[in-house]
Structures are given as C-alpha cells and as structure tokens.
C-alpha cells in the first residue's frame, strides 16, 4: 500500500525508516552455494573435475577445525548480508562441525537458512570421506538437532553420484524416507566428463537422472544444481516429480560447464520448477543481481529472454516458491517474515550518470541488475531488524 494509507493504520509508536529514494525489495534468496568455498572463489581451472580436485577438495579439509568453521561462518553470513541475500541453501563439508558452525551462526542472526552436511564416501581425498553409516548417523543427529529450530532447515546433501557409493545413496534414501519434510540437495548434469563418469559408476542406470530416481531422490523438496545437459526424457521426469532445477549462471560460465536452456524447461507440458543460485565458489559472485546479469547473457546467447521484472521475481518470490517458502519469504505479504533489502540505484559514479536517463522502474531494475555490486545494498532487515554491519 501507499505510505499514507499504511501510516494511517499503523500504531503511533511505530518507528519510521525513510529510505527514499532507494528501492525496497524482499531479501534475495540464493538456492545453491557452498559455505566452505568462500576462500576459493576465482581459482583457475579448465573444468569442473579439475577444479574440484585441485582446489575444492583441498580447501574443504580445513573445515575439520571447528575454530576455522566458526570464523568462516561469521564471514560467510556477513558477506551474504552485504550482498542483500537473506536466505540461502548451502552445502557444508563432510565434517559435522561445519554444519554446527553454519546453523549456530545463522540461528544467532535469526536468518532463514537451509544447510546440510555433505555426504561422500568415494572419489575424494580420504580426509574428506565419510562412510554410508557415519554419513547417515551424522546427518540424522544434525537433523534432530537443527531442522525446524527457529528458522533453520536441514537439507540431506549427498554431494553427487560420483562421490557416493550405491550403499551411501541407499542410506540417503533412508534419510529422505525418514525425514520427508527435509530438503534434498545435490548436483546433476553439470559437465560432460562428470556425466560420463557418473554413468560409468552406475552402468545399470539409463541416465544420470535415473541414478537419483532409483534412490527416490526426485520430489518437490529436491534441489538439483545445474541440470545443463539433461535429455528431454530426464527433464520430463523432473517435471513429473516436481523436482527443482537450479540455474547457476556465474558458475556455469566460469567453469565452462555449458548454457542452461531455460526455454526447454519451461515449454514442457509440466513446466519444470526453476530456481537460481550463485554456486559459490564455482560461482564467482555472491550477488544475486550479478547472478541474474549473467543469466541474462547465457539466455542472450541462446536467443532466449528473461525480462528485468522476471529476474527480480526469480531471486525473490520465484526462489521462495522453489523452496516452498512463499508464505514466509520473497514477498511483502502480511504475516511474511520481513526479510528486506534496500537498494541504491546510484551507488557508483557510473550508475549515477546512467540513472539520469532512466525513465521508469523496469529500466531502473535492469540498471541495478547489470551495473550494481554490494555497494548498492544500503541496508538489510532480517525479520524486521536492521542487520547490515552487525558483528
Ligand atoms: N559437483 C560436485 N561438487 C561440486 C561443487 O562443489 N561445485 C560444483 N560447481 N559442482 C559440484
Ligand atoms: Zn554446487
């Protein structure tokens, strides 16, 4: 409603924060990123598997140390807030204490977060491996401790088919059956070599998606990162099961993984549920605006369109819908949680000059999407509480 209408019905003691001329939007939602990869953003490699083996699996070993986890959790949530992101779905490491640090810090800030312990029991350094049993036990313990505590939600997180034995996928299936209200997050069809290796490891399965389907991974609470090279048959089953495909533009470009074909997903008889994520640290920027800037470019290369309004919708209510959290976040509806981001469209000298010719809100949103960085985020409210630059 208008300021004057709302002021007329607001209790007199309400404090007014005047953010004119800035834009007030629902806090951004990042549906796929890796908490322990904040310090390997921009690591030089020619493809996904080289990048994982050279940097990622080395970096994640540092999270054996609880102190390191705690320090990084502080930095991680500060960085999310600085970029206007108020909710995220994050992979932690195989170490339960990485999840402990993640949820402890998120809960302290009262942020709505989804997280989970990575499960992997093969094809990674020994120091990072769990076992089907320890992965199950640790996940169970963490779900019981954190799922539904305040605004914390658990995501059962087998990393991807390559790093899990059939026994571990079976244990993951047991966890999904025993905790149907938890999320599931994993990676699917990101890179051609990855797909070939997954099929080699699971020769009885028809395709990559079929590996996950056999263990009941597909469903409305399931988030599949990337989904770049899926066949029509794989896409159809994603639609039938209401699974979510997570588009991670900066990562897909940085790792040279491929171009996400949005149109193919949307033209299905049962359109696929789509979300977007940064995929930090394969992704190169925490900003969901920068993420949509790169999404726009990926779609441009395929002669596809996503308007500025659609992009802002995607990173707010669109991603909330993909997480089935639209009654809480991504919106200003009455009784929603009041996670709010305030944006300055004139935050840099170039934006200031550009804004002189902007004629309407759609143009202004596109300037923010294309030109802004964290300097545009002037304030972030978590459950109505100003939270930028809090320690
Ligand atoms: N596939 C399996 N693990 C990862 C990861 O950490 N990042 C990306 N981009 N893809 C993955
Ligand atoms: Zn990822």
For 96-148, the pLDDT digits (tens) are: 999 999 999 999 999 999 999 999 999 999 999 999 999 999 999 999 999 99
Atom of ligand 1 nearest to the CA of 251: 9
> Confidence class of residue 328 from pLDDT cuts 50, 70 and 90?
very high
What's the chain's length in residues?
Answer: 391
Whole-number pLDDT of residue 1 = 77
Our answer on whether the CB atom of 282 is closer than 6 Å to any ligand 1 atom is yes
Our answer on whether the CB atom of 60 is closer than 6 Å to any ligand 1 atom is no
Region 194-207 average pLDDT: 98
> Confidence class of residue 389 from pLDDT cuts 50, 70 and 90?
confident
For 246-290, the pLDDT digits (tens) are: 999 999 999 999 999 999 999 999 999 999 999 999 999 999 999
Q: Nearest-CA neighbor of 80 among 324, 280, 236?
A: 280
- Residue 288 and residue 285: Cα distance in Å, rounded? 8
Our answer on whether the CB atom of 168 is closer than 6 Å to any ligand 1 atom is no
Atom of ligand 1 nearest to the CA of 281: 7
Our answer on whether the CB atom of 279 is closer than 6 Å to any ligand 1 atom is yes
Helices (H), the chain: 3-9, 48-51, 57-59, 66-82, 96-108, 132-146, 166-178, 192-201, 208-214, 232-240, 249-254, 262-266, 288-300, 308-313, 319-322, 349-355, 361-371
| Ion ligand 2 residues within 5 Å by Cβ | 225, 279
Q: Nearest-CA neighbor of 37 among 274, 193, 248, 182?
A: 248
Q: How far is the CA of 32 from the centre of ligand 2 (A)?
A: 6
Q: How many CB atoms lie within 10 A of CB 263?
A: 12
Atom of ligand 1 nearest to the CA of 160: 2
Pairing of strands 23-26, 112-116: unpaired
- Residue 257 and residue 290: Cα distance in Å, rounded? 18
Our answer on whether the CB atom of 100 is closer than 6 Å to any ligand 1 atom is no
pTM of the shown model: 0.98
Q: How far is the CA of 27 from the centre of ligand 1 (A)?
A: 25
* 66, burial (CB in 10 Å: exposed 0-12, middle 13-18, buried 19+): middle
Kindly tell me if the per-residue pLDDT of 291 is higher than 90.
Answer: yes
Q: How far is the CA of 114 from the centre of ligand 1 (A)?
A: 17
Q: Nearest-CA neighbor of 51 among 62, 40, 36?
A: 40
For 139-196, the pLDDT digits (tens) are: 999 999 999 999 999 999 999 999 999 999 999 999 999 999 999 999 999 999 999 9
């Amino acid at each position: 409603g208008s300021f004057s209408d709302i002021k007329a019905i607001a209790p007199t003691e309400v404090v007014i924060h005047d953010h004119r001329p800035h834009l007030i939007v629902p806090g951004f939602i990042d549906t796929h990123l890796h908490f322990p990869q904040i310090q390997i953003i921009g690591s030089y490699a020619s493809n996904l598997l080289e990048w994982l083996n050279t940097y990622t699996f080395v970096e994640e070993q540092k999270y054996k140390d609880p102190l390191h986890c705690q320090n990084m959790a502080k930095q991680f949530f500060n960085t999310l807030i600085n970029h206007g992101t108020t909710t995220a779905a994050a992979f932690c490491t195989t170490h339960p204490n990485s999840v402990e640090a993640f949820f402890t810090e998120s809960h302290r800030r009262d942020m709505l977060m989804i997280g989970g312990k990575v499960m992997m029991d093969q094809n990674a350094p020994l120091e990072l491996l769990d076992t089907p049993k320890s992965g199950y036990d640790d996940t169970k313990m963490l779900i019981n401790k954190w799922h539904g505590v305040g605004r914390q939600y658990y995501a059962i997180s087998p990393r991807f088919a390559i790093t899990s034995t059939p026994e571990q996928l079976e244990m993951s299936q047991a966890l999904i059956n025993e905790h149907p209200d938890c999320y599931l997050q994993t990676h699917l069809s990101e890179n051609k070599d990855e797909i070939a290796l997954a099929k080699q490891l699971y020769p009885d399965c028809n395709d990559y998606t079929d590996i996950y389907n056999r263990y009941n991974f597909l469903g409305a609470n399931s988030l599949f990162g990337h989904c770049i090279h899926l066949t029509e048959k794989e896409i159809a089953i994603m639609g039938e099961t209401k699974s979510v495909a997570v588009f991670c533009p900066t990562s897909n470009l940085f790792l040279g993984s491929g171009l996400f074909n949005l149109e193919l997903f949307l033209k299905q008889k049962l359109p696929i549920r789509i979300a977007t994520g940064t995929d930090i640290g394969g992704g190169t920027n925490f900003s969901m605006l920068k993420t949509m800037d790169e999404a726009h470019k990926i779609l441009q290369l395929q002669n596809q369109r996503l308007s500025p309004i659609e992009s802002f919708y995607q990173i707010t209510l669109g991603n909330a819908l993909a997480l089935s959290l639209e009654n809480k976040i991504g919106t200003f509806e009455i009784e929603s949680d009041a996670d709010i981001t305030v944006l300055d469209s004139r935050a840099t000298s170039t934006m200031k000059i550009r804004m002189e010719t902007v004629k309407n809100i759609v143009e202004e949103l596109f300037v923010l999407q294309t030109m802004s960085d964290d300097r545009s985020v002037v304030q972030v409210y978590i459950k109505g509480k100003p939270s930028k630059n809090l320690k």
